Chain A
Amino acid sequence: QVLLVQSGAEVKKPGSSVKVSCKASGGTFRNHAINWVRQAPGRGFEWMGGIIPFFGTAKSAEKFQGRVTITADESTSTAYLELRSLRSEDTAVYYCVRILWALMDVWGQGTTVTVSS
């Protein structure tokens, strides 16, 4: 049974950066497709990007290119999402999810990121 545990809530100033972690247990981490999805207050879900640790190359949504970095550390079975140049519109709950056979079947508990001056 795969379990994803994310880091805690963050409060950030506009223009700063945030790095959220997602530690996996169970299964074979290097084969997991770990993706990041966010949910802003009152809005739907937005896919941000993902990585398969075995391949090491991340993909990100066009909207976030240049502002987001997705990485994975096989030694600790942990994936990371870094988002830079934060603005108020980035206030959201950020989820890491495993995608298996095109289904988001395992979700982290979510990390609330609040961007406020």
Chain B
Amino acid sequence: ETGVTQSPTHLIKTRGQQVTLRCSSQSGHNTVSWYQQALGQGPQFIFQYYREEENGRGNFPPRFSGLQFPNYSSELNVNALELDDSALYLCASQDWYQETQYFGPGTRLLVL
């Protein structure tokens, strides 16, 4: 059974640029959530996708957007990058009818 994978592992961008992060969900999971973890903080919920539709969003601006594909993989897009967007971005997958979310290794984004 393949776990949650994310790419890339690390990324450096400059302010104002756009970035796309990718996530492959664990086999059998149809729901993907994205989280942002700033240094010294717990992960903060960005949004969740189920059946290719956004199913809930945290307190993040519209320049954070996402997609889920028919194979349940997902993308997180961030436009107009700001310095405060520097963080670890985590993807988690789950079966819709189960409570436990399983996390990938994360993508470390640095905005200069």
The answer to whether A and B interact is no
- Measured CB to CB, the residues of A under 8 A from B are none
Residues of B within 8 A of A (CB): none
